[in-house]
Structure formats: structure tokens, C-alpha cells
Amino acid sequence: MQKRKPILVFQTDFTYKEGAVSSMYGVVKTVDPDLEIIDGTHEIPRYDIWSASYRLYQTVRFWPEGTIFVSVVDPGVGTARKACAVRTGSGYTIVTPDNGTLTHIYNSLGIEEIREIDQTVNRLKGKDTEGTSVFHGRDIFGYCAAKLASGIICFEEVGPSYSADKIVRLPLQEALLKDGVITGIFEIGDPNFGNLWTNIPLSLFEKAGFKYGDIINVNVTHNEQTVMDKEIKFEKSFGYVKPSELVIYTNELMYISLAVCMGSAIEEYGLGYGSGWKVKFTR
């Protein structure tokens, strides 16, 4: 039986408002019309490398082993930052700029090997594209990923390898439990429903003795200024509280999160995510 070619999963900050996504996919299909392309998301907030990194962490491990991901959130396009392909310890390939996008993957799945894309052989040619330095999603990342998925090149032919310890990484913060108080940050937000996901695993809540049904004090600060200080119920899901009520819950990645039932915590309480958004849970 012929081995199935890897699926290509794309995520970018391009949106569908113009032709960038279509151009990338056209290049893939020109390399090999049999390749399967799936949209991860093209709604990463523009220039938001942190969100690109988190969305890879959120999704990669739920795909079949061997899947190739192309992540293009690249405010440094055309500069000295590296274009690379990575193999994780769990059998996935990620083709992306080395600009911090690999931060969460490095910490969660681990990086088995990384290679800088050799643009002399793995860059699109013959389409009047050689003179531009502003669309590497089409000319380098999509093109190189398509060559890998089709079997035209093997991973070793991507380009020269370099140490995974030298990749660009964004600073991650660790959730802490001390004297019954749990501290962390809002690590990412849900742009559609307005929920906020912390970096605090459920296991740390359990270690602190918190149980579903408990009323917990939630203190949120942004750049050291208090934004919220409320007593909120901890439950398995949103429907355990009334519409418009806040709820603490466990998200699909087993991290503690905050939501408004049938509403938006982000919009209604002016909350956000990132290293400046600190959250503290106490009895």
C-alpha cells in the first residue's frame, strides 16, 4: 500500500481579506496537486508571535503523526531572522520563521532537529518572485513545506542543521503555589467567546485543595494595577452558573480559565493576556 502523504496545516495572520492565503495554496498545489491543505487559522492577531506559538502548542499534538505545519506570523520578514524547519520529538514537522514561534513547542513537545532553509534550492523560482523579500509564506515556507510533504526533498535536504538551544524563545512564566495562593498569568485569550486561559494547570488547583463548586477569590492585575478582585465559582463548565455570571473552569488543555457564561470576559471586564496580566487565586 502506498504511504499517505503528510497533511499540510497552515496558520498565519494574513486573514482572507486579500490573496495571500490563496497564493500560498496555489504554490503548494503547483508543487504537488495531490497534497491536502487544511486551515489551522488565518486570524492570528497581526504580528503576534506569542499567539502563533501558543496556537501551535494548542493544536499540533491532536493531528496525525507526520503532519507538516506551516506557521507564518513574520514581522521580521526579509531580515536576518532564520527561516527554518523543525522536527519535534513526537514526529511532527513545523516550517516557520525562527522568531519565537517555536517557544511553546520547544517547552512542550521538544525539538529533535532544526534546519535552516537553504533558499538557493528551497525557494520558489520562475514566477517573477525572486526580487521580493516580503512574502516568505509563499516563496519559502509554503514552497519548502510542499516539497517536504510531496517527498521531493527529505528533511536533511531542507538546509544546514543548527542547535535547537539556539532558537529564538519568548520568556515563559511558571505558575506557582505558595502558602495556599496560586499565581500565574492570562496566557492567551479566546477571540470569539472572550474567555481567558491561564498558565495554571488543573493539577496545581487540585494540589491547593480547590474543588469544583468552591467560591474562589480572583485578583487580576495589569502592569501591577488591580483590574479585578471578585469572588467567583469554580465549575466544570459554563452552564453551572447563570448567563452573564463569571465562572472559573478547566479548559480543553487542562488549564484553569475564566469566562462569562453566554458573554465575554475580555469585553465585559476589559481583560487581556500576556506577561503583564497576572492572576491570583485564593480562598
* Residue 9: band (very low, low, confident or very high) from pLDDT cuts 50, 70, 90: very high
Condensed to tens digits (0 to 9), the pLDDT of residues 141-185 reads 999 999 999 999 999 999 999 999 999 999 999 999 999 999 999
Sketch the domain layout of the chain as residue ranges: 8-166, 176-282
Condensed to tens digits (0 to 9), the pLDDT of residues 107-139 reads 999 999 999 999 999 999 988 998 999 999 999
Q: Which CATH class is domain 176-282?
A: mainly beta
Q: Assess contact for 205 and 182: CB atoms under 8 A.
A: yes
Average pLDDT over residues 57-77: 98
- Side by side, the strands of the sheet bearing 83-88 are 37-41, 8-12, 68-72, 93-97, 83-88, 111-116, 161-162
Percent of the chain with pLDDT strictly greater than 90: 97
pTM of the model: 0.95
**Confidence at residue 3, expressed as pLDDT on a 0 to 100 scale:** 81
Q: Which CATH class is domain 8-166?
A: alpha beta
Average pLDDT score, the chain: 97
Condensed to tens digits (0 to 9), the pLDDT of residues 223-253 reads 999 999 999 999 999 999 999 999 999 999 9
Do 8-166 and 176-282 fold alike per CATH?
no
- Cell match 513545523: residue? 94
**Confidence at residue 5, expressed as pLDDT on a 0 to 100 scale:** 96
Task: Say how far apart CA 84 and CA 162 lie, in whole Å.
Answer: 10
**Confidence at residue 2, expressed as pLDDT on a 0 to 100 scale:** 63
Pairing of strands 68-72, 8-12: parallel
**Confidence at residue 1, expressed as pLDDT on a 0 to 100 scale:** 55
Task: Say how far apart CA 230 and CA 209 lie, in whole Å.
Answer: 19
